[in-house]
Amino acid sequence: MPDISTSQPSEVAVKETEHLRPTWRIQPSQGWISLRLGELWEYRELLYFLAWRDVKIRYKQTGLGVAWAVLQPVLGMLIFTIFFGRLAKVPSDGIPYPLFSYSALLAWQLFAYSITESSNSVVANERLITKVYFPRLVIPMASILAGLVDFAIAFVLVIAMMAYYGVHPGWGILSLPLFIVFELATALGVGLWLSALNVEYRDVRYTVPFIVQFWMFASPVVYSSTLVPARWRPLYGLNPMAGVVEGFRWALLNKQPAPGSMFAVSSTVVVALLVGGLYYYRRMEKNFADVV
């Protein structure tokens, strides 16, 4: 085999071709497909750049910019505090209702943003998909990561509110990153299913706002999961966002009890959702360029 590097005078090029030349076999895929997670790792920079692009454009194009990230959960909190907290007197397990609802909204906004953006992501990036190859999984993942910036901004406010109300977190706060990762995994699981379906069936996108709204009231955002009788709580955990929202409250506000059994059920659901979503997406992605 002639070594190309000998014919390359540029030093830079020599360095690059010193890597083993990868060999690809392109053929029709059948049956269960490998997830190619290694390749996904290779493309981590693209993941970063696409997420960065989404964030950048979001803040450039919206008049309110960064304020929007805070305004959404704050307005939600105000409405909920007035109607559910004050008027309907929904119990909040001893936590001031504004803090009770804001901590949940913080988690909820990230989830709502993630599934809304990711479900439309493949269709929105049609140009890329039909013109360049890269692991297609990068697309919904990037749109989910972009939501973290809004989350970080809104998070600053929850710290401020905790200081104002004098609520101290326990050791549980160390587990908060775990809940965030868990939430992103949930969003990715749902986003993978919806984004792949949305390529094939374009009206999936119109069902997403409904799903988001419906799901929020099925999750303990405005109320506490302690409203659900203890023996039904594991069943309630079938909604993974129930585990996430209560997990947030437990980690941040030291709200008891810890969402143990409920969270265990939620974890199982999320793993199933995510693994199923990954395989479904990989199976569908071979048609993306032809159908999008």
Partner 1 sequence: MSDHAIRCEVIGKQYRIGERERYKALRDVITDALKGPFRRIREAGGREESNRNRKPTIWALQDVSFEVKEGEVVGVIGRNGAGKSTLLKILSRITEPTRGYAEIHGRVGSLLEVGTGFHPELTGRENIFLNGAILGMKKVEIARKFDEIVAFAEVEDFIDTPVKRYSSGMYVRLAFAVAAHMETEILLVDEVLAVGDAHFQKKCLGKMGEVAKHGRTILFVSHNMNAIEQLCNRVILVDQGSVKRDSQDVRPVLTEYLFEKENERSSIWLNDGDRYNNRYFQPQRFAIVDAGGRPLSGPVRNDCEMWVEVEAHLEQLDPALTIGYAIYSEDRNLLYWSYQTDQPPKQWPVLTYGRHRLRSRLPSNFLNEGTYRIELIGGLHFREWLFTPGVAGPHIYLTIRGGLSDSPYWIAKRPGLLAPVLAWEQVPQSFEHCRSEHLKSNEV
Residue 204 binding partner 1, by CB under 8 A: yes
Number of residues located near partner 1, criterion CB under 8 A: 51
Q: How far is the CB of 18 from partner 1 (least distance, A)?
A: 12
* CA gap 216, 245 in Å, rounded: 10
In the list 203, 210, 229, 231, the residue contacting partner 1 (rule: CB under 8 A) is 203
**Residues 153 and 70: beta-carbon distance below 8 Å:** yes
Q: Quick check: 4 binds partner 1 (CB under 8 A)?
A: yes
CB 91 within 8 A of CB 227: yes
Would you count residue 27 as binding partner 1 (CB under 8 A)? yes
Q: Does 272 bind partner 1 (CB under 8 A)?
A: no
Residue 32 lies near partner 1 (rule: CB under 8 A)? no
| Torsion angle of C-alpha atoms 121, 205, 291, 47, degrees rounded to 10 | 10
192: closest CA among 142, 153, 150, 239?
142
- Contacting partner 1 within 119-148 (CB under 8 A): 127-134
Length of the chain in terms of residues written: 292
The answer to the question of residue 28 lying near partner 1 (CB under 8 A) is yes
Task: Among 34, 36, 53, 238, indicate the residue that binds partner 1 (CB under 8 A).
Answer: 53
Say whether residue 1 binds partner 1 (CB under 8 A): yes
Whole-number minimum distance, CB 128 to partner 1, in Å? 5
Show the tokens assigned to 98: 């504004």
Q: Which is nearer to partner 1, 21 or 89 (CB)?
A: 21
Count CB atoms within 10 A of the CB of residue 206. Answer: 9
**18 near partner 1, judged by CB under 8 A:** no
At residue 62, the 3 state secondary structure works out as: coil
User: For partner 1, which is the closer residue by CB, 49 or 83?
Assistant: 49
Choose among 240, 242, 250: nearest CA to 219: 242
Question: For residues 251 and 173, is the Cβ–Cβ distance under 8 A?
Answer: yes
Instruction: Please report whether residue 26 would count as binding partner 1 according to CB under 8 A.
Output: yes
CA–CA distance, 221 with 209 (Å, rounded to integer): 17
Residue 34 interacts with partner 1 (CB under 8 A): yes or no: no
Structure tokens at 99: 């803090």
- The stretch near partner 1 (CB under 8 A) out of 1-9, 75-83, 171-179, 268-276 is 1-9
Q: Is 70 in the site for partner 1 (CB under 8 A)?
A: no
Q: Is residue 291 at the binding interface for partner 1, with CB under 8 A as the rule?
A: yes
* Residue entry with tokens 């999961």: 225
Cβ neighbour number for residue 66 with a 10 Å cutoff: 13
11 binds partner 1 (CB under 8 A): no
**Torsion-angle region of 238 (φ positive above 0: left; ψ -120 to 50: alpha; else: beta):** alpha
Task: Specify burial of residue 32 (Cβ count, 10 A radius: 0-12, 13-18, 19+).
Answer: exposed
One of 32, 45, 87, 171 touching partner 1 (CB under 8 A) = 45
Closest to partner 1 by CB, 18 vs 168, is 18
Stretch that binds partner 1, among 49-57, 66-74, 242-250, 251-259 (CB under 8 A): 49-57
What six digits make up the tokens of 26? 């392109």
Residue ranges binding partner 1 (CB under 8 A) = 1-2, 4, 7-10, 12-13, 16-17, 21-29, 43, 45-46, 48-50, 52-53, 56-57, 60-61, 127-134, 197, 200-204, 207, 286, 289-291
